[in-house]
Chain A
Amino acid sequence: MTTYSQAISSWAEHLRAGGTTPWSAWTSDTEQPGAAEPGNPSATHLEVARRINRIAGRPQVALVDLVLAVAPTGRGLVDPPLAWGEPSRFGSPPVHPDALSSEELLRVALPVLVRLLPLVVPAEKYATRASRFSSPWRRSVRVHGSPYAAAALIEQLREQGVPTSSRCTHVVLARPLDVMMAEHWHMSSLRGSPARWWRVWRQAVATGSLPRGARPDRLASRLLDSGRPVHVVVADDHDRLAELVSGVVGRPVSLPPTPDPAETDLVRRLNRLLTLRTGPDRARTLVQVLAQQVVPGARVSLTAPSAPLAVPPWARALAAERSREMADGIRGGGYAVHGDPDDLVPTDRPGASSTVDRDRTLELALAAGVRAWQLQGGTP
């Protein structure tokens, strides 16, 4: 005969030893007298620990202890007990941990990351250092447009020592509107915005206007006033975009695919919590650490790719209209256009969804937790 507190202690020990057996399997043979007792650790904590074990693949006692002791964030069930024979009389109803929503599990997974990120030593900023061999004879290039791709390209050209003086050629990157908006969302999350994907579109619909990074036509026509040559490069696919850009700048470049929505979602969720814990400035540094050092290593343990983001249904008309206007504007803009402006119009991508799959965000958060643990020296 086992009491609730005996059962929960033995499962907790199992988890500390690196176990991954679900609660339902753990308790199936046990007699269940008495009521579940709300207390520590909660079902949420324990289930997060179990999933972390599944990702880590080997016992991580100290990490599991950290998980079990972390304070949950945000609103949700307060200290839910594990499902048991009889429910507790007061407090949150008992839950089957494998049935806990990703949203609930994120309430514990996020603070784990918040605890670990400050411990990760920021990498040498070798990647952002300009080439020692600056090449003033080279043609100067300035890059604008679709924010994520543009940031990556700017970095790349800097590494290669391409100058950016004012006597330059302007390159404006344009991608399908949904992709540019996803890039805009990603970049503003990295700058501290807690806004959701829908919020970005709601704002566009409410104000009738698109963010700057999603307006290559306007960017290009403003740049034209500078009197320097302007090239607008449009492509649906990032490899094709890189190919076209290579032609314009006269050197091979590569461009990243669209940012993973799960990563953007994770960053935007962390923004608020990190701000609360560390203040806004430090928060921005820490999400950079997350994006540059933690997420790449965490990706390898993900089981499924995220679905690409689609325009929310109620914003589709606006997206179609605006992107067609932009395509027309670019065609008659009076600057060099590479690629097909019609590629600006969003198309139905297979599997695309207008909401971010929280299961993917949770999985990335857990994997990032494990990765951050490793990076800060948790395992030899």
Chain B
Amino acid sequence: MTESVRRIYLHVGAPKTGTSFVQDILFNHRAELREQGILYAADRHDAHFLAALDLMDLPWGGLEQEATGAWDRLAAEVRAWPGTAIISHEILGFASRVHVERALASLGDAEVHVVLSARDLVRQIPAEWQENVKHRRTLRYGAFLDELRDEKRSGDVARWFWGVQEVPDVLERWTAGIPSEHVHVVTVPPPGSAPNLLWERFAGVFGLDPVKFAPGDRVNTSLGVPESAMVRRLNTRLNDVLPNHHYRGLVRELLVHQNLSARSGSPRLALSPEAHAWAAGLGRSWVTELVQRGYDVVGDLDELLPSDPGPFTDPDACDEAAVADAAIEALALMTREAARLRDVESELREVVADRDREIQRLRSTGVHRAKERFVQKAETSTLARGSLAVYRRLRGRNSRST
């Protein structure tokens, strides 16, 4: 009989390093993982996101209403679990020391491992600006870079960016009292590496079979330069009118993730040569620091050294014809979406009409009261049968992303 060790992996970031890809695998396989003694405690795919909001007292565009008590519930499940548990969300990187203390205290006496996946700054910075654009922000790229380079971090953008992306600082905040061999830095492989390499690294840290829980195809959700410029300008027109949930469903999911990301041939966003030099210098100082700290490195810290500068297309002054192309394509797409929604509506009307007929039939048979429960049942079951299909079609593309 072996004594089981309670072990907890806290994956705390960073954003844009394949975190949601890992979370998807863990969420989709949570039942099989449980059988193997590994807990990924989530009843919805954003469960750990909500827990992180709760832990860090972080209101988030109304989502905080669903987050009340989420961390404590997660911690309770983890405490009660005899084996290994994984908690993963990239915004945890923002936690201040008080939050970290609260988190670690809530997890009991388990062996805590901190995992941070990292990618070089030269790729992270453009990715973060695009992430901003996909979240309704209207800041231009140049202004965004200026904010990041302000040493005082006076702007909100800089405070958030460095809060989650400054690898040495995030690790310092999260690892007080944790031995360095329990701190795992997973580096994101450079472009062109084997597609499953990153997953294999994560699986290695968590002690999972990388083949058994193989990932599906990864969807590229990064935008080209003109597409980014177009969405940024669209944001300036939408911010006062379009409610958040519609932005999520229509702009982020349907337009950006499912369509604009797939446009090939557009130049990809990079850093200007001068910004590249600055970011590369900073990246090198981080690697020097990390080497000294003696963490468990999964991959290679050299992968965090920036690559040479490539061609740079400025999204603040890019080819307007390409922006126009992207905008017209988006407009055509949305016009078709309007047509599709109209069809969904008429299907729903039929469903309701069916239900009404059924209820009418039951009522007309006379013994009203005895039938009441059947009526109610019919009401919900026809609705469920008919409109679930429609609903799925409607919501299919509206999955919540954060």
Contacts and interface: CB of A to CB of B under 8 A. Distances in A.
**Do A and B contact each other directly (Cβ–Cβ < 8 Å)?**
yes
A206 B59 contact: no
A127 interface: no
Contacts of A90: 166, 168-169, 172, 289
Contacts of B65: 275, 280
A75 B159 contact: yes
Interface in B144-181: 151-153, 156, 159-160, 162-163, 166, 168-169, 172-173
Q: Which range contains the number of B residues in contact with the other chain? A: 20 to 34
A277 B57 contact: yes
A166 interface: no
Given A91-B172, A93-B153, A278-B68, A71 B59 contact: no
A119 interface: no
A73 interface: yes
Given A71-B98, A93-B152, A277-B68, A111 B57 contact: yes
Given A78-B173, A276-B54, A276-B64, 4 more contacts: A71-B102, A73-B57, A78-B96, A91-B172
B59 A276 contact: yes
14 contacts: A39-B97, A40-B98, A71-B98, A77-B153, A77-B159, A78-B162, A90-B166, A90-B169, A91-B173, A93-B151, A276-B59, A276-B67, A277-B68, A280-B65
B240 interface: yes
A73 B152 contact: no
Contacts of B56: 71, 73
B99 interface: yes
Contacts of A33: none
A39 B240 CA distance: 39
B70 to A, nearest CB: 9
A276 B57 contact: yes
A273 interface: yes
Interface string B48-68: 000001101111000011011
B151 A70 contact: no
B96 A91 contact: no
B199 interface: no
Nearest to A79: B96
Contacts of A111: 57
A39 B101 CA distance: 12
Interface string B22-57: 000000000000000000000000000000011011
B96 A71 contact: yes
Contacts of B59: 73-74, 194, 272-273, 275-276
A92 B161 CA distance: 11
B97 to A, nearest CB: 5
A139 interface: no
Interface string A281-305: 0000000000000000000000000
Interface string B77-107: 0000000000000000011111100100000
A38 interface: yes
A42 interface: yes
B68 A40 contact: no
B241 interface: yes
A275 B68 contact: yes
Contacts, number: 95
A88 B64 CA distance: 33
A71 B152 contact: no
By DSSP majority rule, is chain A's interface helix, strand, loop, or mixed? loop
A166 to B, nearest CB: 34
Contacts of B58: 73-75, 276
A279 B57 CA distance: 13
Interface string A80-96: 00000000011111000
A76 interface: yes
Contacts of B160: 75
B99 A71 contact: yes
A212 interface: no
A69 interface: yes
A145 interface: no
Contacts of B172: 38, 90-91
Interface in A27-47: 38-40, 42
B207 to A, nearest CB: 30
A240 B195 CA distance: 75
Interface in A255-277: 272-273, 275-277
Given A39-B97, A276-B54, A78 B163 contact: yes
Contacts of A203: 240
A272 B65 CA distance: 8
B284 to A, nearest CB: 13
B64 A72 contact: no
B147 to A, nearest CB: 13
A202 B169 CA distance: 39
A72 B96 contact: yes
Contacts of A205: 240
A202 B153 contact: no
Contacts of A279: 68-69
B98 A276 contact: no
Contacts of B240: 202-203, 205-206
A74 B60 CA distance: 9
Given A206-B241, A277-B57, A70 B98 contact: yes
Interface in A198-218: 202-203, 205-206
Nearest to A199: B240
Contact of B173 (A69, A76, A79, A206): A79
B281 to A, nearest CB: 14
A38 B162 CA distance: 14
Contacts of B153: 77, 92-93
A69 B159 contact: no
Given A74-B57, A75-B156, A275-B68, A42 B96 contact: yes
